[in-house]
Amino acid sequence: MKNYGIKYLLGALSFLIIANTIQAQEDVNWITWQEAMIAAEETPKKIYVDIYTDWCGYCKKMDKTTFKDATVVKYLNDNFYAVKFNAEQKGNILFNDTEFKYINSGGRGVHELAYALLNGRLGYPAFVVLDEEFARILISPGYKGPDAVMMEMKFAKEEMYKTTSWQSYQAKQKALQQTAINQQANPQGNAAAASQATKTRTAPGQNTKETKAPAKSSMENQNEEIFKVVEEMPRFPGCEDKDLDKSELKDCANQEMLKFIYGNLEYPETARNNKVEGMVVIQYLVDQTGAIKNAKIVRDIGNGCGEAALKVINAMPTWIPGKQRGKTVSVLYNLPVRFKLESSSSVQSKDSMQENDETITEKDKKKNKNKRKSKEN
């Protein structure tokens, strides 16, 4: 009886373990941003961030449908740290030695980290995929079904972004899906077409050599393609003659860019008089030669702040261009520039996510002017 009782208990326990495992796979293992950072330090893994708000209806719809799909749940749990991030949360978050805060502006506020992750293009739901070093792979706004989410996750997990753009990959996958749908819809027609193609290729007296359209060279394709994330990101010049490793070189370049921005950005007089503060976002292209091109204001706070930030970007020297598979490529950047009248803690460059977020204050400006005067003396 005792042995029977032990066997019964062990069997019941095994059943509970199996049941819990099955239940766990029915739900995505969502964790917080802070939990993901801790887990990634110990076991690096790509991060899938779901950026939502409490009032977003399509966010809730995806939770009930797309993120209940068994294939999506398993693939997401197996290959990513899945993060739920409320874009309007109030708590401060420390990331890359920078403190991100909630900004109360307009009808609804926004958390600075959500703003940085989305390149300032706010809209919900939105999804961001980061690699093991927290470099951004993809921004994907809007509601989507299981097939679309699976396509995005495979693009990241299989590291297709290292050889092709998301737009090219997406177009190819959609074409394959459409071909499969057409074949299922008209199997007889496809079989007849295949038979006719075979006859055409094997007909006596006909040239069986397949004719192909001339392909574009890889350099031509790269000239037409603009990247957001590449293997070697572009960097601000000034550190090439120093004996530094890759990480130190990136930090040095960021500091040089900080010096340039702090030394050249002027707080507009009208903005100062009207006590205007906030964040301007400038978008620009670092082309294959490192030149800054097509700079434009994508978010402004008025009173000349956008123009002041744009002026600094256009005045930047030629960068060290980015590289993909050993070849120089064009890379699109978004640079948030924060204007604040009162002194605040220094803000570091966050180019690990293709962001460079700078704060210019009255105190900072005076400090940099004094440094230049002391050097001249």
* C-alpha span between 368 and 361 (Å, rounded): 11
The DSSP string of 166-231 is: HHHHHHHHHHHHHHHHHHHH-HHHHHHHHHHHHHHHH-TTS--PPP-PPPPPHHHHHHH-EESS-S
Would you state the structure tokens that stand for residue 342, as one six-digit string?
Answer: 């009162």
pLDDT per position in the chain (377 positions), as tens? 445 454 554 454 444 444 444 444 579 999 999 999 999 988 999 999 999 999 999 999 999 999 999 999 999 999 999 999 999 999 999 887 788 889 886 667 899 899 889 888 888 999 999 999 888 899 999 999 999 999 999 999 999 988 888 888 988 888 887 887 777 777 665 555 555 545 544 444 444 343 343 443 333 344 447 887 778 889 999 888 888 888 888 889 888 987 888 789 899 999 989 888 888 888 999 999 999 999 999 989 989 999 999 999 999 999 999 888 788 989 888 888 888 886 543 333 333 334 444 444 444 444 455 544 554 55
Nearest CA-CA partner of 284 in 313, 260, 250, 317:
313
Q: Which amino acid is at 286?
A: V
Q: Are 111 and 100 in contact (CB under 8 A)?
A: yes
What is the predicted pLDDT for the residue at 348? 35
* C-alpha span between 96 and 357 (Å, rounded): 12
> Domains of the chain by range and CATH?
2-173 (3.40.30.10), 246-376 (3.30.2420.10)
* C-alpha span between 316 and 298 (Å, rounded): 18
Residues listed for the chain: 377
Q: Where are the beta strands (DSSP E) in the chain?
A: 30-31, 46-52, 80-86, 93-95, 98-100, 102-103, 110-111, 126-130, 136-141, 226-227, 278-286, 292-299, 322-324, 327-339, 358-360
Would the pTM of this model clear 0.75, i.e. be above it?
no
Nearest CA-CA partner of 88 in 62, 57, 129, 55:
55
What is the predicted pLDDT for the residue at 22? 45
What is the predicted pLDDT for the residue at 175? 86
